[in-house]
Structure 1
Amino acid sequence: MVTIKKNEKTGLWWIRLSLGTDKNGKRIQAYFSSKRKQEVEFWIAEKMTARRDGTIGKVIQVRTMAQLFEVWLEDHVRLTKAETTYHSYQSIIKQIPEWFMKLKVDRVEAIHAQRLLADWSRTSLKASTINSRRAILVGMFSWAIRMNNYKGPNPFSAVSKLNEGLKEMQTYSAEQLATYLRTARDVMTTGNYAAVMLISYTGLRAREATALRWSDIDFERMVIMVKRTAIEVKGGHAFSNTKGKKVRVVTISPHVAEELRRIRTEQRYNSLRMGWRNEEDLICLGVNGAYLWHSGLRRRHIETVKAAALPSITLHGLRHTHASLLMEMGVHAKVIQERLGHADATLTMDTYAHVLHTLQSDTASQFEHLLERKRTAQPSGS
């Protein structure tokens, strides 16, 4: 996915494109800026056309895995995936051992893939995390095969996934969540509390919550328009499309609307008192109106859990808690799917299968009680 950015100081729209490598294996990069965004879009279209018809030197056969990863990231992932995905993959590649990065592409075999997974398993990485990385590498080699950068069977497809064991999803009961939120209101700054309150009551992802703007709230209709997610990179932050690349509408309760109005009033008061401005119109703010970083929010969450003397769950566990409680209430999986922004209801059902198991046990008992009442209600001898 290509993202056009705006320099707030100069007012210029700009883009930096990676267009493959030249005959010597050197990356081809091009930069363009203009006061008009449309001119930048036209420039991108021209460059991509030149890239396809061969005017710009096309990617030649790569030699090492390090080169292959670079070409895959810049020529495929950046242009076809969400920006958050690009940065996520970039982070994973940085954690691949040097011995693997130095391998000649045409020498990579299943034994090397197996060794890489084994190296990761000897660290603190969970089996589920390693399996997720394996799936990404399966996709990368499938792309390399299609691009004629790798010949032979996919080495990561030949390696089995690690045994993840029984998945235990840590969530809170309704009582525990209420305790957590009361404690958060007392011990967190307003911006941090706003984030965890929104995650708990709406099921937003953490970076969706920190990307919310006041203009995304419709207090008359009592809904939130989830339009973007926050991206954190070295040196700053930005905003991009949500994971599903779609705007979704999430309803809010009167209590959440009341809390948001209170937070907005407090935010405006602090802005006037301390002399800072909320330039990005964000709901969840850090100190002095700054962007609320995910790492800081995660630390405040851990501190709040300890202060509330509750079992430990992750920040993402608040989103799982929201969905699990909705399912226990009998809310249809399709409604929960749309609220969470899942691709389809099947993913929702698979993710919260543990809740369905509990509900099935209750259903069996309820059915038995129903028949028991019918039997006792029948007159004897009939």
Structure 2
Amino acid sequence: MAYIYKRDKKWGYTVSLGIDPLTKRQKQKTKATFKTRKEAVSAARKLEAEIENGTYVEETKMTFEAFARQWIENYALNAKISSVRARSKEMNLFISEWGPYPLKKISKQVYHRRIIELSEKYSRNYVSGIHACGRMIFSHATELGLIKINPTENIRLPKYIAKVEELESQEDEIKFLEKEELAQFLRLANTNGLEMDYLIFTTLAYTGLRIGELLALKWTDFDEEKGTLRVTKTLYNPKNNIKEYELLTPKTTGSIRTIKIDEKLIKMLKRHEIKQKETKLKIGNFYVDNNFIFSRNDGHPQLRKVVETRLKRLLKMANINKNITPHSFRHTHTSLLIEAGVGVKEIQQRLGHTDINTTMNIYAHMTANMEEKASHQFSKLMKDLL
């Protein structure tokens, strides 16, 4: 039974919460902020009903930052370091706004307003990731019984409508080299490339590997007799430090795969293996031998930044004015598979897409590009005829 009282012109209540299982002492909830006795009685009855039904939650006084820091530590126990790094960045966008703010005071309105602010500043994909992070934080707080209401529930991202100017100037998201451009690029990499350039870019173009997967390859992943490369890991090195890298599991479970490679690439890898063994003998104990295929002359795996820099150098020499990245060779490989008549399911398995929709989106984009190219070629043919 609630105790109702009046103090300093305000009405209040005291309600028993039962015996604390840890301290074995009586716990009470007191609140004295009501203007009338009727309001205090109504609030007390509501609280007693929650206690009786087992739905009462004693909300925490913890700040958002304090809880978020605890959450990321818990998240890190079962997540890749790359995922933790990404989630930490997203989490900090909330901390910068709500750091000292009590966790329980962040309402749906407050959360929604922050999502709108971020949507005006960042891309939809990035905000989607930020929102996912927010949902995880508040869902965890709700599960622990620290807050009554999850402010992220039923919150949707604002609908993004591009301006006409943006649509007109927007370039295709999927960048790749046409077959003729690839041939020109690889010829140049062979004649004017720096050490391993020709092998690296040929491997990317002929396999569709992600750059992290390629740099993580070891000689044990290469089977000369079967003509395959086994993908089981990816190189994580955000600081581009030759010693501070980690080998992580691939992006998805479907990314673990065995890729069939052609005779040309097999021969290139064998020549590279012989050359690498000569380097080991020459350098001796200074060579850090971790069995990487694409290693530097000191044995450490090659840096992604080096590959990107060398790619820009060769693109400039080839007069290819496209925003091509190492990942673009993955799309280039896909376009060549489509042109060769390879089916969607086979492409999915070769690229290591767990979700068929990922493959289908790329496939649709590539085929649309090929259809447009065919249309232009037909128009040119007819003009020449007429």
TM superposition score normalised by structure 2:
0.68
Q: Does the C-alpha gap of structure 1 residues 299 and 104 become closer, same or farther in structure 2, counting only changes over 3 Å?
A: farther
Residue 206 of structure 1 and its aligned partner are, at CA, apart by 0.9
Alignment of 1:31-50 (within 5 A): none
Residue-by-residue CA offset, 1:281-311 (whole Å, 9 max, x unaligned): 1011235332222233222222222222112
What is the total number of aligned residue pairs between the two structures?
Answer: 304
1:127 equivalent in alignment to 2:124:
yes
Q: 1:224 maps to which residue? A: 229
Q: Does the C-alpha gap of structure 1 residues 169 and 219 become closer, same or farther in structure 2, counting only changes over 3 Å?
A: same
Q: 1:328 maps to which residue? A: 339
Q: 2:145 maps to which residue? A: 148
Unaligned runs of 5+ in 2: 1-58, 376-386
Q: Partner of 1:221: helix, strand, or coil?
A: coil
Q: Does the C-alpha gap of structure 1 residues 267 and 68 become closer, same or farther in structure 2, counting only changes over 3 Å?
A: same
Q: Partner of 2:230: helix, strand, or coil?
A: strand
Distance 1:147 1:118 in 2: 27
Supply the RMSD in Å over aligned alpha carbons.
3.3
Distance 1:237 1:111 in 2: 42
Q: 1:355 maps to which residue? A: 366
1:198 equivalent in alignment to 2:203:
yes
Residue-by-residue CA offset, 1:13-61 (whole Å, 9 max, x unaligned): xxxxxxxxxxxxxxxxxxxxxxxxxxxxxxxxxxxxxxxxxxxxxxx95
1:313 equivalent in alignment to 2:327:
no
On the 8 A contact 2:296/2:302 being kept in 1, the answer is yes
Residue-by-residue CA offset, 1:225-265 (whole Å, 9 max, x unaligned): 10111122567111121122463111111111112112222
Distance 1:80 1:74 in 2: 10
Q: Does the C-alpha gap of structure 1 residues 187 and 105 become closer, same or farther in structure 2, counting only changes over 3 Å?
A: farther
On the 8 A contact 1:127/1:162 being kept in 2, the answer is no
Q: 1:299 maps to which residue? A: 309
Q: Partner of 2:246: helix, strand, or coil?
A: strand
Alignment of 1:84-233 (within 5 A): 84-94=82-92, 98-117=96-115, 120=118, 125-155=122-152, 157-161=154-158, 163=160, 168-232=173-237
Q: Does the C-alpha gap of structure 1 residues 304 and 282 become closer, same or farther in structure 2, counting only changes over 3 Å?
A: same
On the 8 A contact 1:203/1:340 being kept in 2, the answer is yes
Q: 1:249 maps to which residue? A: 258
Q: Does the C-alpha gap of structure 1 residues 116 and 337 become closer, same or farther in structure 2, counting only changes over 3 Å?
A: same
Residue 157 of structure 1 and its aligned partner are, at CA, apart by 4.8
Q: Does the C-alpha gap of structure 1 residues 348 and 151 become closer, same or farther in structure 2, counting only changes over 3 Å?
A: farther
On the 8 A contact 1:223/1:250 being kept in 2, the answer is yes
AA matched with 1:296: V
Distance 1:194 1:94 in 2: 40
Distance 2:278 2:111 in 1: 56
On the 8 A contact 1:195/1:206 being kept in 2, the answer is no
Distance 1:223 1:120 in 2: 45
More moved, 105-114 vs 218-227: 105-114
Q: Does the C-alpha gap of structure 1 residues 188 and 120 become closer, same or farther in structure 2, counting only changes over 3 Å?
A: farther
Q: 2:247 maps to which residue? A: 239
AA matched with 1:81: A
